[in-house]
Amino acid sequence: MPNLRLAFLGFGNVGQALLTLLLEKTEELRARHSIEWSLVGVAGRRLGSAIDPRGIDPLGALELAKARRPLAPLSAMPLEGDGVAFVGRCGADVLFENTPVSYEDGEPAVSHLRTALECGMHAITANKGPVVHAYRSLTALAAERGRRFMFESTVMDGAPVFSLWRECLPTARLQRFRGILNSTTNLILTLMEQGKTFEESVAHAQQIGIAESDPSGDILGWDAAVKVAALVTVLMDYPLTPQAVDRKGIDGIGEGEVLKAQRDGLRWKLVCRAERINGGVVAAVEPELLGPDDELYGVMGTSSAVTLESDVLGPLTIIEANPGPRTTAYGLLGDLVSAVRTAVV
């Protein structure tokens, strides 16, 4: 039974939810997947880091992180340096990389994951940046090292999108997809239909922890665009950056527009789409007015959905209701099990 040494780089909402879920699922991992695990490294930015090859107490790490106190007292060695230095020294078998996304170039997460693979670790992330900026190179490096680069949680949190495609739809060719992929804007539009102002809706999304203190990445459509780019890059095997997605956010939609649509029996949604056209892929994110006969009309609040159209199946829709850090954590845990099961050693 392998004892997997795990390291966490980025120990915020998602990292902490994942460690909590691993504790909860320890027995199932052992009994159903023959996986034992221990925590050998954990790092944030302001939290600093801890490494101990003999194992770090997970509850102690969670307690310090929740209290926003430094992790250093849990460390068996003095540590200095950035995330790359942490990965190089942590001695883990698996790195979970859950630092914030960079839309521009995916850094420093790309370097964290590359270093992990070069050191012989599986590299698992919920960070979309590395998928859109380095999918092919990280996947090739992983194959070369007999390890896996996995990222299920980057789109639709824990709902199986990439693994469904990989495991259950062999040889299928994705022609187009359409969906709602950004929870924050979908919640804002839902709340505006219920009579809240734009500002009140944004404040509510921040209060429940789904929108960041600077919510512009969601509102201007960047988060949706990076998810579209990730789906196109991986499922259509067509490298696309978020900058190449034709993008419009919901910043132009005021309370008046939302209420008028409602009176007309319609609803504004931030719709994501991509389609193969003339040997390329055309991708867009923009607000659309949808009627009740549209399958995305009923996707409300923080829920998300995507419909995949391939050359072999009719439209196949995945809907995820009420996601959160725990569902994201589940996607990462699923990746861990898949990586261990399928690694070439």
Ligand X SMILES: NC(=O)c1ccc[n+]([C@@H]2O[C@H](COP(=O)([O-])OP(=O)(O)OC[C@H]3O[C@@H](n4cnc5c(N)ncnc54)[C@H](OP(=O)(O)O)[C@@H]3O)[C@@H](O)[C@H]2O)c1
Positions that interact with ligand X (CB under 6 A): 9-15, 43-47, 83, 98-101, 108, 126-127, 153, 157, 324-325, 328
CB nearer to ligand X: pick between 43 and 228: 43
Q: 158 to each of 286, 320, 322, how far by Cα in Å?
A: 24, 9, 11
Of the two residues 44 and 249, which places its CB atom closer to ligand X in the complex? Answer: 44
Nearer to ligand X, 50 or 258 (CB): 50
In DSSP terms, 309 is beta-bridged to 176
Determine the residue type at 72.
A
Q: What is the DSSP letter of 302?
A: T
Report, in Å, the least distance between residue 146 CB and ligand X.
26
Q: What is the largest CA-CA distance in the chain?
A: 64
- As measured in angstroms, the least distance from the Cβ of 189 to ligand X is 19
Q: In what order do the strands lie in the sheet with 304-310?
A: 246-247, 280-290, 267-277, 174-180, 304-310, 316-320
**66, 138, 234 from 151: Cα distances, Å:** 25, 11, 10
CB of 129 to ligand X, least distance (A): 7
Q: Which lies closer to ligand X via its Cβ, residue 3 or residue 216?
A: 216
Return the beta strands (E) in 112-242 as ranges: 122-125, 149-150, 174-180
CB-closest chain residue to ligand X: 12
Closer CB to ligand X, 133 or 267, in the complex: 133
CB of 34 to ligand X, least distance (A): 28
Q: What one-character DSSP code corresponds to residue 150?
A: E
Residue 66 Cβ, how far from ligand X at the closest point, in Å?
12
- Min dist CB 267 to ligand X, Å, is 24
Q: Where does the chain show beta strands of DSSP type E?
A: 3-9, 36-43, 49-51, 94-97, 122-125, 149-150, 174-180, 246-247, 267-277, 280-290, 304-310, 316-320
For ligand X, give the closer residue by CB, 153 or 190. 153
